[in-house]
Amino acid sequence: MRLTAAQLAAFRTEGFLILPGLFSRAEVDVLRAEVPRLFTDDSPANIREKISGEVRTAMGLHLRSEVYARLCRHPRFVEPARQILGTDRLYIQQAKINAKVAFTGEAWQWHYDFATHHAEDGVPEPLALNLHVFLDDVTEHNGPLIFIRGSHHDGPAATALDTQTTSYALWTVDNETVARLAKAGGLVTAMGPAGTALIFGDCLVHGSPSNMSPWDRSIFSLILNPIANAQTRFARPDFKHHQDFTPVVPLADDCLLTVPAAATA
Ligand SMILES: O=C(O)CCC(=O)C(=O)O
């Protein structure tokens, strides 16, 4: 799969792409079928919400599931990432599902990913890409991501580590900066049916509100980073930043539909 010149230009200008229907309903069904097993694992890679105790984020998925190992090597993710970054030498930095369970899923504060990648892992440059696929329909009601259009042009904003708001410590951007960037670029809510994909860059400021609705909202997120820009600090667990810098090689386009039954039992 190749992005068009118009998509590449939009990515550079706005900092993100929304790709409706990138994955089919049949592919989403394969991805969703793995979720109950993964969420009931007694694993430190399943991080729970502060209030409800429901799974907030389930990490390290490419090591815990053949289906998600394949998704991380899916050509509809890997080829656009190679195209944007201009290199075939990318590694899987992180693979997770952010669940936002109906009524209780908590917010992700305003942040950009490079703040964490740099401060925690010593990633030198803001090159990593975050590639999402919606596992549920995402609407204005169930805690969608909100992007600040063009905020990546401002470069890495000042951040502070917030260990209080949720169970997941995050380097966050202050309200004054958010207000300035939002007035300049506007906010875009990333919505669409299950199977919709997103690609956004490491300096794009984004966040998402809590899920007050009666509808679950799960989104898979893959971070791919150039091997030449790999982490230089190794303090975080492997499930937060994978320490194997083997180049990711794309599989066949139908790889999610050919998973042997034994691999999902
Ligand atoms: O799942 C969400 O709502 C937030 C995800 C996010 O901020 C991220 O992947 O960096």
Segment 81-98 shows an average pLDDT of 98
Segment 170-184 shows an average pLDDT of 97
CB 199 near ligand 1, within 6 Å: no
* Amino acid 262: pLDDT: 85
> What's CA 197's distance to the chain center, in Å?
10
% the chain with pLDDT above 90? 96
CB 221 near ligand 1, within 6 Å: yes
CB 108 near ligand 1, within 6 Å: yes
Distance CA 37, CA 151 (A): 37
CB 18 near ligand 1, within 6 Å: no
Of the candidate ranges 85-89, 155-159, 210-214, 253-257, the one whose mean pLDDT is the lowest: 155-159
Tell me which amino acid residue 81 is.
A
> What's CA 183's distance to the chain center, in Å?
25
User: What are the pLDDT digits (tens) for 107-155?
Assistant: 999 999 999 999 999 999 999 999 999 999 999 999 999 999 999 998 8
- Contacts of residue 1, defined as CB under 8 A and 6 or more positions apart, other chains included, come to 75, 76, 79, 80, 253
Segment 177-192 shows an average pLDDT of 98
- Contacts of residue 33, defined as CB under 8 A and 6 or more positions apart, other chains included, come to 67, 264
Tokens of 149: 């259009």
Distance CA 71, CA 104 (A): 27
Three-state DSSP state, 248: coil
How does strand 159-162 pair with strand 170-173?
Answer: antiparallel
Count helices and strands (H / E) in the chain. 7, 13
pLDDT higher than threshold 80 for residue 265? no
pLDDT band at 80 (very low <50, low <70, confident <90, very high): very high
pLDDT higher than threshold 90 for residue 213? yes
- pTM: predicted TM-score of the whole model, two decimal places: 0.96
Tokens of 78: 């890997």
Tokens of 72: 């991380």
